[in-house]
Amino acid sequence: MGRNILKSSVQNASFSIIFQILFRCITFVLNAFIIRTVGQEVLGIMNVRLLLLESTILFLSKEPIMKACLTDTKSHNWAQVINQIWLSVPMTAILSLGLVYTWINILSPTDEIYATQYRLGCYAIALSCIVEQMTQSVVLVAQSFLFVKLKVVIETIYIVSRTIIFVYLVIGSPNQAINAFSCAQVASAIILCLLYYGYFIWYIYRLNNIKSGTSVSTKNFSDMDDFPFTSITEFFPGMMENYERHLNRDLCVLTISFAKQSIIKQVLTEGERYVMTVSPVMSFSQQSMYDIVNNLGSLAARFIFRPIEESAYFYFTQMIKRDEAVAKQNQRYISESATVLSQLCNIVTSIGLIVVTFGQSYSYTLLYLYGGDKLVETHLPVTLLRFHSFAVVLLAINGVTEGYVFATMNNKQLDRYNYIMVIFSVSFLVISFVLTNILGPVGFILANCVNMLARIIHSLIYIYKKYQGTTYKPLSGLIPSRKFLLVLLISGVITKTSEVIVTSIPLHILIGGVCFVSTLAVWAIENKSILRLGYDKYKRRMSTKTD
């Protein structure tokens, strides 16, 4: 591909961060609207039970195939890859049959007043997942050929349309909120599908005209000579000309490896919700309250760390070969990727430590401003949010290091890691169940912290061995400077004192703002090289646009 992979990965992360901010802002406003309109129990059914069903179906059916097909896209036989990615549709249908039956007939029932709506909601989730999976071939091509802005624009329309449809229906019939949720899920999935296919119908039509000489080339088409599709029908299985077997054996093996890994990772990611769902320790109302605090506490992870992890994974898959030792690969690529990994570790660790420092003093303030007296009338939400701030550091480090590990492991290493992940999963479930019964909802967070720490240790060992015997030290970015740690300690003491002594919330926020700016200033001074690199890339980009 003619485009710069690092530049596009950075752009993808930037746009994804913006999208995540928009999505989370909409979600928080929507949650507040639901609580005030239809109550906390309905919010618990939708946000915990039904969205967990959607997450389980999509993650297990989409994640393994998509990750495998994104590996080394420059060398793809696209006819085989399109056939492979479409396997996610029947996989989704099969998974939906078993999971919907489980959700309706085996899991603890909802109150009778919501039973019919809940059943319809399960079917609607399954249908929306199948429709969404029908877009995966187009999404894969868009990501492989670096259509960075397209994904952000379409998914923003998808989220906004789902929200508008839901709110419109709920305002008309507050008692039918779960039915409104179901209709919004299916309708928005159809909109997503139509937008992706509609764009590429237009794009291929323009590209074909340019290649035939009937249209003048534009900037958006100038570097797409390697685009292999000449008709929208080629996005469907069996339609591209192919002189080899229907499926790529190596991609199938890699998909199976990722499938084993995805089951375990899903348990680790959504573990607390599975514990709530399979063996409820809280009512639906309590679950909704925990979910609100959990989402609020994961702002940094969702806004910043996840987009960085996704873009870093794609970047490392393109720069480092899975089956070759570091010493035998292109040293320019290895040097650049080691520097990028070190800088990413530096950035996410610093952000995580800032969240810990200010999270201890501003958890109550944040919850009060968000939910009012009702949300902070018990001390539990504040305690949960403070514990979440510690989990953010581990999420930050794990996201980048594990993203590198998954991007560079070969098939044998991935299979071996799957067994390790089984140990992590079983340990997580046991620890989560035990700690939850002893400490309540706080036990969910502590169990996640233990498992994150175990996964981080494994990733650090892998990365250390990967670069052992070379001059590269990518893990050095995990160690903050002494000046930065000192200013964090001072800021923590000042803001905690302010929380105890200062009774005015605006004044308390002002004090925190001054400490926050001071902390950022010290970090910027200590990391001039990273900022200079970003500024230089920005100047080059602006000068290119001007020319």
- Give tens-digit pLDDT for 267-287: 767 777 887 777 666 677 777
Does 290 lie in the same domain as 145?
Answer: no
Instruction: Report how far apart the first and last C-alpha atoms of the chain are (Å, whole number).
Output: 23
Quickly list H helices, 409-441.
411-439
More confident residue, 35 or 352: 352
Q: What is the pLDDT of residue 35?
A: 65
Do 283 and 247 have their domain in common? no
pLDDT class for 222, splitting at 50, 70, 90?
A: very low
Q: What is the pLDDT of residue 15?
A: 62
Question: Does one domain contain both 428 and 333?
Answer: yes
- pLDDT tens profile 126-155: 999 999 999 998 988 888 787 877 887 888
Q: What is d(CA 158, CA 187) in angstroms, rounded to the nearest whole number?
A: 9
Residue 396, C-beta contacts closer than 8 angstroms, at least 6 positions apart: 300, 301, 305, 348, 349, 351, 352
Domain co-membership, 340 together with 439 = yes
Q: Among 216, 242, 262, give the residue marking a domain's end.
A: 262
Q: Kindly report, residue by residue over 42-86, the tens digit of the pLDDT.
A: 878 888 899 999 989 988 888 888 888 877 656 677 888 888 889
| Winning range, highest mean pLDDT, from 30-39, 82-91, 180-189, 404-413 | 180-189
pLDDT digits (tens, 9 = 90+) for 154-164: 888 888 899 88
**Can you tell me the mean pLDDT for 410-432?**
82
Average of per-residue pLDDT across 516-521: 92
Residue 423, pLDDT above cutoff 80: yes
**What element of type H or E holds 232?**
none
431 and 494 housed in the same domain: no
Which tokens go with 122?
Answer: 């399960």
pLDDT at 510: 95
Provide, rounded to the nearest whole percent, the portion of the chain with pLDDT above 90: 22
d(CA 449, CA 338): 27
Q: Which residues of 469-488 are buried (b: 16+ CB within 10 A; e: fewer)?
A: eeebebbebbebeeebeebb
Q: So what's the pLDDT on residue 194? A: 95
Q: For the chain, how are helix, strand and coil distributed in percent, rounded to 5?
A: 80, 0, 20
DSSP code, position 117: H
- Residue position matching structure tokens 């959607």: 54
Q: How many domains does the chain have?
A: 3
Whether residue 93 is found in the same domain as residue 229: yes
Whole-angstrom Cα distance, residue 299 to residue 231? Answer: 41
Token code pair at residue 111: 């109150």
- C-alpha 110: how far from its chain's center? 29
316: Cα within 13 Å, side-chain hemisphere: 27
User: Among 218, 238, 262, where does a domain finish?
Assistant: 262
- What's residue 13's pLDDT? 60
Q: What is the distance of C-alpha 379 from the center of its chain?
A: 30
The CA radius of gyration of the chain, in Å to the nearest whole number, is 24
Confidence of residue 5 (pLDDT cuts 50, 70, 90): low
Domain C-terminal end among 417, 450, 478:
478
464 lies in the same domain as 502: no
Which range has the worst mean pLDDT, 106-120, 169-183, 352-366, 460-474? Answer: 460-474
Using an 8 Å Cβ cutoff, are 164 and 142 in contact? Answer: no
Please give the Cα distance from 227 to 78 (Å, whole number): 10
* Phi, psi values for residue 149, rounded to 5°: -70, -30
Residues 223, 77 share a domain: yes
For the chain, the average pLDDT equals 82
Closest CA to 480 of 354, 384, 340: 354
Q: Phi/psi at 47 (nearest 5 deg)?
A: -80, -25
Q: Are residues 113 and 160 in the same domain?
A: yes
81 and 158 co-located in one domain: yes
Same domain, 349 and 321: yes
d(CA 84, CA 86) in angstroms, rounded, equals 5
For 237: left if phi > 0, alpha if psi spans -120 to 50, otherwise beta; the answer is beta
User: Does the pLDDT of residue 174 top 80, yes or no?
Assistant: yes
| pLDDT tens-digit readout, 424-469 | 878 888 888 788 778 877 888 888 899 899 999 999 998 888 888 7
Which residue range forms the structural domain that includes residue 517? 480-547
364 vs 367: CA distance, rounded Å: 5
Assess whether 25 and 166 both reside in one domain.
yes
- List the alpha helices (DSSP H) in 173-227: 177-212
Angle between helices 136-144 and 177-212 (to 10 degrees): 50
User: Which stretch, 12-21, 97-106, 468-477, has highest mean pLDDT?
Assistant: 97-106
Q: When comparing pLDDT for 239 and 394, which is higher?
A: 394
